[in-house]
Structures are given as structure tokens and as C-alpha cells.
Structure 1
Amino acid sequence: MSLPILMTVDDDPSVSRSVARDLRRRYGQDYRVVRAASGADALDALREIKLRGDAVAAILADYRMPQMDGISFLEQAMDLFPHARRALLTAYADTDAAIQAINVVDVDHYLLKPWDPPEEKLYPVVDALVDAWRAAGQQPVEETKLIGHRWSSPSYLVRDFLARNSVPYRWYSVEEPEACRLLDAAGATREDIPVLITPDGTVLRKPGGEEIADAVGLSTRPAEEFYDLIVVGGGPAGLGAAVYGASEGLRTLLVERKATGGQAGQSSRIENYLGFPDGVSGAQLTDRARRQAQKFGAEVLTARDVVGLEARGSGRVIKFGDDTELAAHSIVLATGVSYRALEAEGVARLTGRGVYYGSAATEAPECSGEHVYIVGGANSAGQAAVFFSRYAKDVTIVVRGPSLQASMSHYLIEQLEAIDNVRVRTGTTVVEAHGDDHLEALTLCDASGQRETVPTGHLFVFIGAAPRTEWLGEAVVRDEHGFVCTGPDLVVEGQRPKGWSLDRDPHHLESSIPGVFVAGDVRAQSVKRVASAVGEGAMAVTLVHRYLEQQ
């Protein structure tokens, strides 16, 4: 087979020669370096490469080129090689413009020119690109087929599960002739939808999460019977705990109910996370963190619902929904929070059929030229508005409060103000959702009580969150909102929590069960930010070590 390709595109001959020389010096034995003098020439070369069946690992494109800039080129290159990793070469003077443009296309890195010395500035970036490509892009895509109805809530849930777990699939609406042919070949009917057909021909009718995970190759069964550390929840806090636990030699298992990343994994762009000046999508950050955890040896289980927790001697036992159990020396609870339900007439009936909780990226193409409404005033709502503004005719943010300033970051408010097709309606609530098979309109009510019915087929809800902690039972102390209390909050007037068995106070992130630690949004008094969640996950592992040393 031919060597995979690293492509560099720059209209400046001296820069083009320089980057090609540096790439060949470091990667020449394992990759073929191809350079082009313009976006058009590069696209012609990529089409030939596609016809030959060769692989492209990474593309480095100059931002400022005549006729076709780097962003426009990369958008078209993605259609030919969607799994090739992408970096933008930019001069210092163009940094701001490049960063803004990067939000339009899913670029992995940008690189300032000049990059001397390459050992410090160029090679670490390219190393990250090729590592990511090897992990996800080198193997041919085996396509899973999903047949369903656009306005079917079960169909939406399967699409969302596949997308959030990075499973390649092709969607067929049941109204399409090809969908009917596939149903006939599978021996299924319209009554069976959603129908999932795996690359090996396995047919699943109305499948659930664990059944889908097993069929598409996600891990759902633990490899061992006992672990040093079990992390429950795969959001930023859980992923942080898994990375640090596994990297420090603990036999670590991460258990996730739906898909790693949590609410942060659904974010279209996180722009205030340390080390990513051009922003990073939640999906990108999640993918890197998951691969990092697995590189250190952490095991990841998907689509497993934890429904119970108890202490048995020195062991800590979690119970799954299928009545099986798994034990460890210690537990980190990082289950995060779930979006609160919007209490308005018609919303529950239309959820998954035009009404969605969180940033349902799978619905973005369906929003083209449409009116989109977003309920909520925090960062997640603002990030969703920026994302959907690229597809929709217009986006309206509906906020109950008088402004966005109290709950949304300043940088995001400025972004929204600069987008022509985004508007904010303050002092307004959604009181009713209308539609038969799917959402067709909303009734809004302003602070004066005036009501207005507006047409829309898409409503995305971000109205705060509540923890999923009912399954913990009485042994784990929680506050009045269900968040788990830890450390000093458990010691009231010098009294340790009821049932506490150790001759010491609980550690800072330790719950009322010794050896069970809590990190991220589910912890009472936590800061609801991605960076703090990752930090708490790492800190929890430090306290796990301290707990284990004391046993």
C-alpha cells in the first residue's frame, strides 16, 4: 500500500518548500508529503488521491491565499477526506481573523508562521494530528444504516446516541425508496422503525442503548471483576478522573450511561477552556480525553446505567440496571446533571419531534432556512445559538430574565451581538408548544402578559440542570436540590455524618461514604465550568490515593 499523505498548501513558494522540508525530515519514512501552490491545485490533487484509493492523514493550509482562502479550501477538502486532520497556517497579523474563521470549519489546530524551531512549534502539532488520524481515520469507514422517521422521538434518540459516540452511520428516512428496499431486505416493516442495520448485516428493531452499543462495537462488559477505581459518569470530571487514575497506575474503569462528554460534549464550541485560544468543540475535547484515558489503560463502558451504590467491607459496589454488580477499592461519582424539563403545555408530547434538550447537532442540517428558538440564558444556550445561526434563517434566544449579563460569559454576549440573524427576547417565556406529529409553533408570553404565537419547527431547551442522584439512596448525603455534599459540608457543629466509620473527617471531595468521592457538576457548591470539572476529577484521584494509603 502507498504511504499515507501529509498535504501542505501555500501560495508562497518559500513557505511551501520550508514546511515540506520540515515535514519530510520528521515524517518522511512513514508519510508521503505532497505540496500544492493553491487551494484549487490542492483540490485537484485530492481528487486524484481519492481515485487512487490512497489515504490523507493531515492537511496544513495557509489561511491567506488568492482566489480561495484556507478556510474555504478546508471546507471542500473535508468532503473528499472527512477523516483527515486539519491545521491552518497563519501570520500573526491574521490570528484574530483565523480564529473567528476556525469556528466555521472544524479545524484541529492553527499554527503561526514562522514555526522555528519546528521541534517546539511544528512537530508537536503534526504529532497530535497524525495520532488523532491513526486513532479514528486510518481504517475504512464501516457504515451502519439507520432507517427511521424524521419526526419520531425513538429515531432521534438512536441518531443522537450514534452521533455522540462517534459511530459512522447513514440515515434513511422511511419515506425514501431506498429505505423501503432496505426494510424489505431486512425482513422489517415500518412498524419496526427505528431499524438499525450494522455493517455485518445484523438487524435491530427498535433498539435500546446497550443493544446498539453491543452491535456497533462499543464496550459494554467489564474485563475484570474488581478495580482500584470506578468512575461513574463520562463528562469532563469523569474523563479527568479516568485520565489521572489510569496514568498513575490505578486499575480504572469509566462507566457512562449514554455517551462520554456529558453536556460539555454537546457544546458546539468551548472558547474559554485553557490551552485552546481558537476554541474547541465539545466533541473534539471529549474524543481527545477519551483516547487519552484509554492510552493510559483506562477501560470505558458505554450504555450501562448505574442504579445503586453501597459499601461492603473495604469494597465499594455499584449495581447496574440489569442486576449485575461490580466492585472497587474506591469510586468517583461524576454523573453531572441533566437539563430541567420545560414546563409548558405540549412540550413533553413533542420532545424528540421538534423539541430537543441540549444542542442536538444531528438536527442542524434540518434547520437550514428555518426559524429556530432557543430557551435559556447561560453559556450552553449562547453556544448553541452561535452554532445554529450558521444553518438557520434566524435564531431567537428566549430568556426569562431581563438580560443575558447575569448568566452568560461576556465574550459570548459579544459574539451574539455581532451575528445578524440572532436576536434575544428578554422577559419572555414559552407557555405552549403546538403541533400534531411535530412542532409547528410556539406561544410566547412577555413580562406584561402579552402572548404571541410564532411559527417554528425547532426548539432547543437549556434551562438549568438537576442532578440524577435519586439512585444513591439514603447513605449518601445530598442537599435539598439533590447535589451530593462532600468534605467540610458534611461536618456540622463538629459532628461527622451519620454512619461515618473512620476516625477522621471526610476529605475535601469525599462523600458521606468513605472511599466514594464526588467531582464536577453533581457535587454541591461546585463551579459549573468545564475547567473546574476536569480539575476536580484530577483532585479526586489524589484523594483516592490518600484514602487507599490510609487503609
Structure 2
Amino acid sequence: MAKPVILTVDDDPEVLQAVARDLRQQYGGRFRIVRAESGAVALSTVEKLKLRDEPIALFLVDQRMPQMNGVEFLEHALKLFPTTKRALLTAYADTDAAIRAINSTQIDYYLLKPWDPPEERLYPVLDDLLDDWKANFHPPFEGIRVVGSRWSPQSHQVKRFLASNQVPYQWLDLELETEARRLVTYAESDDRQQLPLVLFPDGSQLVQPSNAQLAEKIGLRTHAERPFYDLVIVGGGPAGLAAGVYGASEGLSTVMLERDAPGGQAGSSSRIENYLGFPVGLSGADLARRAVTQARRFGVEILAQEAIGVRVEDPYRIVKLADGSELSCHALMIATGVSYRKLDVPGIDQLNSAGVYYGAAMTEAIACGGEDVYIIGGANSAGQAAMHFSKYARRVVILVRGESLTKSMSQYLIEQIEATENISVCTGCSVIEVKGETHLEAIVIANAETGENNTVPATSLFVFIGASPRTDWLDGVVERDKQGFISTGPDLTRDQPRPKGWTLERNPFLLETNVPGIFAAGDVRQGSVKRVASGVGEGSIAVQFIHQYLSKVL
């Protein structure tokens, strides 16, 4: 933590220099001494310190200053730092004003000029004030602060990006917290259309930052160290991370591209309890953190970048990135996973990330305290989300089209849900409309069993209705099925001896696409098993086929 500040204010340069000298001599090792030559300058300094979240331990202020006297300054400054100790420096003629200030601004002490010798007339008083301040001081949060609105899609995106990349931050809601409104004012960003405001410990700030801007600011790597690699992996979920670990550990120069955050969809899971080797379970974030640490240990470069195209110039595969740069490689692994399918009902589009969320938006869990949460879906991801939100929400309602959860959810989750009092399951239920202007206010639920449509108040709806792959960027190069999943191995030769355009004498390897040297693993692959363990397994196995491919082309 930065040293707490002692701020001294005086319009007389010689007096100000002398005060600062004496303060620095006695307190410079424990406090940062800041001086200002007027009340206006001091207020500007105080606002900047507030934005940086740096504590002020003591105001030592001259009373008799033009434009703004000491008491007037304290009246303004104490709104920003109400627990800061305050002392006035006064001439003998100002003692009456100082005494009145004890009542009006609750100053802690007033000191007469001159204060020589400071060992007798200054330090004992300030020692007492500073000791008292320190005894009641609670260190501020040291990290990134995000000021915004719960119902702002941009605010949600910033929170999600930081949380997914496991960057601690403090959330300040403009609608609920006076502190948030003050910070916005001090940052001269009082327009609600210019939020979220992201404040960094170094005093810098970003307004409505993109993921790329955030990535650069928090120290994520966005540019590759070299133009060419043995292996480029697109996607940082379980399959991509496993491929990175095995590829790099076996000597391949490896880079992984992930546009959001390592961990993929699995990284947002609140609890994974059926992953081998973790009998008490672990969160998706924990799994991602461990895997990222392991990958980096073996030398995998992880870039916060998005792949938007690919082309083949034998023997190279060239990936085009969103920033316009390109990476070349001998072998390309596609492990981009899937995204939750959008709910197609009236009113849904304008409420995305403003009460309607796709996947387990863990960043919104605390905001759901005391509210009713609705979850659409009957698979494991929906069940895990329900268990997590039940810790915060008054009630969690799972809406399932089918007759029960047994067809798509693991038995252990079903048993946990049945044993949780504030979770209920509505079978044969689907959402047919959502309502709200600036944020979700109500949903219309159709019950197939009763034939009734019920409108219920709702502020949080989480959607888990199947998944679709992110593979449009492969158009014209890599073969996919009608849903966009990548065809590999036997699926390519089921109706024909060899894939169209295939020039090698051998058939494609098990996880190889119709383009030699381009592989796919995990949920993005046609026919894959949608489980974390299978993604890890495919990513690991794919590296063996990549070695076999490289042995023939190198």
C-alpha cells in the first residue's frame, strides 16, 4: 500500500516550506508529505488522491488564506475524506475562529504560529492525532475499481473480462453508492453514457474500455514474440490448454490465442464435481488458473487475441488476428469451444447483459441477493449455476422444457438441487417473452402441462439452451457440418474415400480436419462429448497426431 498522505496547505511559500520540512523530518518515513499553496489547489489534489484511492491521514491547514480559508477548505475536503484528522494553523488573532471551527467542522486541534520548537509545540499534538487515525484506519482496496450500472451491458462486459482473467476488482454501483457518484464527478465523467469508468491504482482511468484495452492495461500479452511457431492453438478452454501443455512440454514452440479469458465455458462453472482427481470438486476458475500456470511454466505464450481468418500456404498455416497482424505455423489447433445459443423471444435483444445473461454470469451473483433468479436449461451447466445462485438469491427457479432433469443432468447435481430448499424446478416450462425498458423487469412463462401463460416479475434470467460453435472465421477453408461444428477424422471419410482437395496418401488423423496440419479438439469438434475431461483428453491426444504430421513435413 502507498504511504498515507499528510496534506499541508498555506498560501505563504516560506511558511509552507517550513511546515513541510518539519513534517518530512518527523514523519517522512511513514507518511507521504504533500503540500499545496491554496485551498483550490489542495482540493484538486484531494480529488486526485480520492481517484487513486490513496488515504489521507491528516490535513494541516492555514486558516487565513485568500479566496478559501482553512475552515472552508476542510468543509469541502471532509466530504471526500471524512475520517481524516484535521488541524488548523492559526495566528493568535484567529483563535476565536479556530474555536468556532471546532464546532462547525469538528477540527481536532488548532496550532498557533510559530510552532518552534516543533519537538515541543508540533510533534506531540500530531503524534496523538496520527496514532488515533491509525488505530481506526482500514486500508483501502488495492486494485482496480469499476464504476458503473448493474444494468449496463458495457459494465457487465468489463466485470466479466476482469473476473474471467482472475483480476481482482472492486465494483461500485452508480445507483446504489454515493461513493460511485462522487468518483464519476471527480473523474469528470458525469455522463451515464460514458460508463463504466475503470480506475487503476496508478491513477489512470479508462472509459468504456474494450477487452483489448483492458488486456493491455492489466498486463496481458497481446502481441506474439515471434512471427512463426510450430503450433498455434486458437481457443483457451480445457482442450486448448491441454494441447498447449503437452505441445510445449514436448518441445514445440507454442502460442495460444484466447479472445476472452483462458478456461473457456468451463472456466465460468461455479463447481465441477465429477472431474477425475478432485474428490471435493473445484471451480472452473481454479481449474483454469492451474492449467494456465502449468502452460506458462512449459513456455506457452498466451495472447489476448482473436483469430478472424486462416489461409494455407504450404507448408504453412497462417492465422489472421483481429488487430490485423498474422501468425504463421506448421500446425494449427482449433479449440474455440462453443457459445450458448441465443434465446429467440420478443424483447430479448435489448436486454442482453441488462438482466438477461447467457451462461453462468458469476459476476452478477451478489447483485441477485434477496431476489428471484430464473434459469433456463436442464444440463449440468444450468444445475451448477442454480446451486451457485442459491447461495445469494431468495429463490432460484429452473425452467425445463422436458418432463424432468434426468435426461440431461448428472445425478449428483439432481440430488443437490432436490436437497436445496430455495431451488424449484418447473418442468414443461419455457420463456416465451421478456419485458423491460432499460433492464429486465418480467418474463412470460408458458407451462405445457397446464396450458397457461404466467407473467412473473424478474430481474435476472440466465440462459443455458444448448451451444453453437464459433467457426465462421473458417469459411471456405475448414469443412464443418450444418451446425458449424468442425468435421475431423472418420467423419470426413464416411461418405467419400478422401476429403475434397486432400492431397496426402494417408487418411486424416483422428482429430485432423480436411486440411492437413489443421486439427480440432473439444466442444468445437463434430460429435465431441461435451465434458471437461473429454476436452482435456482430446487436446492431449491431438498433440500426438501433430507430432506425426510434423515428422512428415519437416
Residues 401 and 428, structure 2, Cα contact 8 Å, conserved in 1: yes
* CA distance in 1 between partners of 2:233 and 2:287 (Å): 18
Q: CA RMSD in A?
A: 1.4
* CA distance in 1 between partners of 2:163 and 2:466 (Å): 23
Partner of 2:76: none
Q: What is the one-letter code of the residue matched to 2:229?
A: Y
Give 1:467 shift.
0.5
Residues 144 and 168, structure 1, Cα contact 8 Å, conserved in 2: yes
Partner of 1:146: 146
Partner of 1:210: 212
* CA distance in 2 between partners of 1:181 and 1:315 (Å): 55
Match of 1:170, SS? strand
* CA distance in 1 between partners of 2:483 and 2:495 (Å): 22
Give ranges in structure 1 of 5+ residues lacking alignment. 1-139
Give ranges in structure 2 of 5+ residues lacking alignment. 1-139
Give 1:158 shift.
0.6
Match of 1:307, SS? strand
Residues 373 and 396, structure 2, Cα contact 8 Å, conserved in 1: yes
Q: For residues 343-492 of structure 1, what are the structure 2 equivalents within 5 Å?
A: 343-447=344-448, 448-492=450-494
Match of 1:416, SS? helix
Per-residue Cα deviation, 1:103-125 (whole angstroms, up to 9, x for no partner): xxxxxxxxxxxxxxxxxxxxxxx
Q: What is the one-letter code of the residue matched to 1:476?
A: V
Q: What is the one-letter code of the residue matched to 1:395?
A: V
Residues 148 and 172, structure 1, Cα contact 8 Å, conserved in 2: yes
Residues 141 and 170, structure 2, Cα contact 8 Å, conserved in 1: no
- Flag the structure with larger Rg: 2
* CA distance in 1 between partners of 2:185 and 2:263 (Å): 37
Q: For residues 60-459 of structure 1, what are the structure 2 equivalents within 5 Å?
A: 142-175=142-175, 176-190=177-191, 191-302=193-304, 304-447=305-448, 448-459=450-461
Partner of 1:112: none
Give 1:153 shift.
0.8
Give 1:311 shift.
1.1
Residues 227 and 326, structure 2, Cα contact 8 Å, conserved in 1: no
Give 1:219 shift.
1.0
Residues 331 and 517, structure 1, Cα contact 8 Å, conserved in 2: yes
Partner of 2:551: 549
Per-residue Cα deviation, 1:322-377 (whole angstroms, up to 9, x for no partner): 22111111111000000000111122211111111111111111111111100000
Match of 1:510, SS? coil
* CA distance in 1 between partners of 2:383 and 2:171 (Å): 28
Q: What is the one-letter code of the residue matched to 1:427?
A: G
Q: What is the one-letter code of the residue matched to 2:509?
A: H
* CA distance in 1 between partners of 2:477 and 2:316 (Å): 15
Give 1:230 shift.
0.7
Q: What is the one-letter code of the residue matched to 1:358?
A: G
Per-residue Cα deviation, 1:239-260 (whole angstroms, up to 9, x for no partner): 1111111111111111001011
Residues 312 and 318, structure 2, Cα contact 8 Å, conserved in 1: yes
Residues 444 and 452, structure 1, Cα contact 8 Å, conserved in 2: yes
Match of 1:196, SS? strand
* CA distance in 1 between partners of 2:316 and 2:358 (Å): 37
Residues 198 and 216, structure 1, Cα contact 8 Å, conserved in 2: no
Give 1:389 shift.
0.8
Match of 1:147, SS? strand
* CA distance in 2 between partners of 1:297 and 1:351 (Å): 38
* CA distance in 2 between partners of 1:493 and 1:437 (Å): 51
Per-residue Cα deviation, 1:449-505 (whole angstroms, up to 9, x for no partner): 310111121111100000111110122111111100001111144521112121211
Match of 1:521, SS? helix
Q: How many residues align?
A: 411
Residues 231 and 253, structure 1, Cα contact 8 Å, conserved in 2: yes
Partner of 1:4: none
Match of 1:485, SS? coil
Per-residue Cα deviation, 1:44-102 (whole angstroms, up to 9, x for no partner): xxxxxxxxxxxxxxxxxxxxxxxxxxxxxxxxxxxxxxxxxxxxxxxxxxxxxxxxxxx
Residues 336 and 468, structure 1, Cα contact 8 Å, conserved in 2: yes
Per-residue Cα deviation, 1:370-416 (whole angstroms, up to 9, x for no partner): 11100000000000011111111111100011111111111111111
* CA distance in 1 between partners of 2:496 and 2:429 (Å): 46
Q: What is the one-letter code of the residue matched to 1:232?
A: V
Give 1:142 shift.
4.7
* CA distance in 2 between partners of 1:285 and 1:312 (Å): 36
Per-residue Cα deviation, 1:205-254 (whole angstroms, up to 9, x for no partner): 11111011001111111111111111100111011111111111111111
Residues 308 and 319, structure 1, Cα contact 8 Å, conserved in 2: yes
Q: For residues 10-29 of structure 1, what are the structure 2 equivalents within 5 Å?
A: none
Per-residue Cα deviation, 1:163-212 (whole angstroms, up to 9, x for no partner): 11111111122243322332344332323211112222222111111011
Q: What is the one-letter code of the residue matched to 2:507?
A: D
* CA distance in 1 between partners of 2:420 and 2:196 (Å): 37
Q: What is the one-letter code of the residue matched to 1:472?
A: L
Partner of 1:502: 504
Give 1:306 shift.
0.7
* CA distance in 1 between partners of 2:529 and 2:494 (Å): 22
* CA distance in 2 between partners of 1:480 and 1:436 (Å): 36
Partner of 1:109: none
* CA distance in 2 between partners of 1:203 and 1:389 (Å): 35
TM-score normalised by L of structure 1: 0.73
* CA distance in 1 between partners of 2:496 and 2:221 (Å): 45
